[in-house]
Protein backbone atom coordinates (compact mmCIF):
# COMPACT_ATOMS: atom_id res chain seq x y z
CA UNK A 1 0.00 0.00 0.00
CA UNK A 2 2.91 2.34 0.59
CA UNK A 3 3.96 1.91 -3.03
CA UNK A 4 0.66 3.27 -4.33
CA UNK A 5 1.04 6.50 -2.38
CA UNK A 6 4.56 6.95 -3.75
CA UNK A 7 3.30 7.04 -7.35
CA UNK A 8 0.06 8.92 -6.71
CA UNK A 9 1.62 12.36 -7.26
CA UNK A 10 3.78 11.38 -10.27
CA UNK A 11 2.63 11.67 -13.88
CA UNK A 12 3.47 8.73 -16.13
CA UNK A 13 6.20 9.64 -18.63
CA UNK A 14 4.17 8.59 -21.68
CA UNK A 15 1.77 11.52 -21.56
CA UNK A 16 1.31 14.92 -19.95
CA UNK A 17 -1.97 16.41 -18.93
CA UNK A 18 -2.60 20.00 -19.97
CA UNK A 19 -6.00 21.15 -18.76
CA UNK A 20 -8.56 18.84 -20.34
CA UNK A 21 -6.23 17.81 -23.17
CA UNK A 22 -3.86 14.89 -23.02
CA UNK A 23 -0.83 15.11 -25.28
CA UNK A 24 0.75 11.75 -26.00
CA UNK A 25 4.46 11.59 -26.68
CA UNK A 26 5.13 9.32 -29.56
CA UNK A 27 8.62 7.88 -29.69
CA UNK A 28 10.03 5.32 -32.04
CA UNK A 29 10.10 2.16 -29.95
CA UNK A 30 11.42 -0.15 -32.65
CA UNK A 31 9.52 -2.45 -34.97
CA UNK A 32 5.93 -3.43 -34.49
CA UNK A 33 5.69 -6.98 -33.05
CA UNK A 34 3.18 -7.94 -35.75
CA UNK A 35 5.67 -6.88 -38.40
CA UNK A 36 8.39 -8.96 -36.78
CA UNK A 37 6.15 -12.06 -36.78
CA UNK A 38 5.21 -11.43 -40.40
CA UNK A 39 8.85 -11.08 -41.43
CA UNK A 40 9.82 -14.28 -39.60
CA UNK A 41 7.00 -16.28 -41.20
CA UNK A 42 7.72 -14.95 -44.69
CA UNK A 43 11.44 -15.59 -44.19
CA UNK A 44 10.85 -19.19 -43.12
CA UNK A 45 8.49 -19.77 -46.05
CA UNK A 46 11.05 -18.34 -48.46
CA UNK A 47 13.82 -20.53 -47.00
CA UNK A 48 11.54 -23.58 -47.32
CA UNK A 49 10.71 -22.89 -50.96
CA UNK A 50 14.30 -22.14 -51.96
CA UNK A 51 15.49 -25.29 -50.15
CA UNK A 52 12.92 -27.41 -51.94
CA UNK A 53 13.97 -26.00 -55.30
CA UNK A 54 17.64 -26.72 -54.57
CA UNK A 55 16.85 -30.29 -53.49
CA UNK A 56 14.66 -30.82 -56.57
CA UNK A 57 17.33 -29.60 -58.97
CA UNK A 58 19.98 -31.71 -57.21
CA UNK A 59 17.76 -34.81 -57.42
CA UNK A 60 17.10 -34.22 -61.12
CA UNK A 61 20.84 -34.20 -61.81
CA UNK A 62 21.88 -37.13 -59.64
CA UNK A 63 19.02 -39.64 -59.62
CA UNK A 64 18.71 -42.05 -62.56
CA UNK A 65 15.57 -41.79 -64.69
CA UNK A 66 12.57 -43.82 -63.61
CA UNK A 67 12.17 -47.28 -65.03
CA UNK A 68 9.06 -47.83 -67.08
CA UNK A 69 6.68 -50.60 -66.17
CA UNK A 70 7.20 -53.77 -68.22
CA UNK A 71 4.69 -54.10 -71.03
CA UNK A 72 2.71 -57.33 -71.01
CA UNK A 73 2.96 -59.73 -73.95
CA UNK A 74 -0.71 -59.24 -74.71
CA UNK A 75 -0.24 -55.47 -75.08
CA UNK A 76 2.85 -55.99 -77.22
CA UNK A 77 0.87 -58.22 -79.59
CA UNK A 78 -1.91 -55.66 -79.81
CA UNK A 79 0.56 -52.87 -80.61
CA UNK A 80 2.27 -54.93 -83.29
CA UNK A 81 -1.05 -55.78 -84.92
CA UNK A 82 -1.95 -52.06 -84.97
CA UNK A 83 1.35 -51.34 -86.74
CA UNK A 84 0.76 -54.16 -89.24
CA UNK A 85 3.58 -56.42 -88.09
CA UNK A 86 2.52 -60.00 -87.42
CA UNK A 87 3.48 -61.40 -84.06
CA UNK A 88 6.11 -64.15 -84.17
CA UNK A 89 4.74 -67.71 -84.09
CA UNK A 90 1.49 -66.86 -85.87
User: Tens-of-pLDDT digits for all 90 residues of the chain?
Assistant: 555 566 666 655 555 555 566 666 666 677 799 999 999 999 999 999 999 999 999 999 998 888 888 888 888 888 888 887 655 665
**pLDDT given at position 48:** 98
**pLDDT given at position 31:** 76
**pLDDT given at position 15:** 53
Cα separation, 77 vs 83, whole angstroms = 10
**pLDDT given at position 57:** 95
Strands (E), 10-85: 15-18, 21-24
Q: By C-alpha distance, which of 87, 85, 90, 54 is closest to 73?
A: 87
**pLDDT given at position 59:** 92
Q: What is the pTM of this model?
A: 0.43
**pLDDT given at position 46:** 98
Torsion angles phi and psi, residue 49, rounded to 5: -65, -45
Displacement of CA 14 from its chain's centroid (Å): 38
Q: Spell out the domain ranges in the chain.
A: 13-79
Amino acid sequence: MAEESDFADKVPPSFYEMGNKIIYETEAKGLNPGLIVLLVVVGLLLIFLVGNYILYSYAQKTLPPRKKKPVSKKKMKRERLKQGVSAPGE
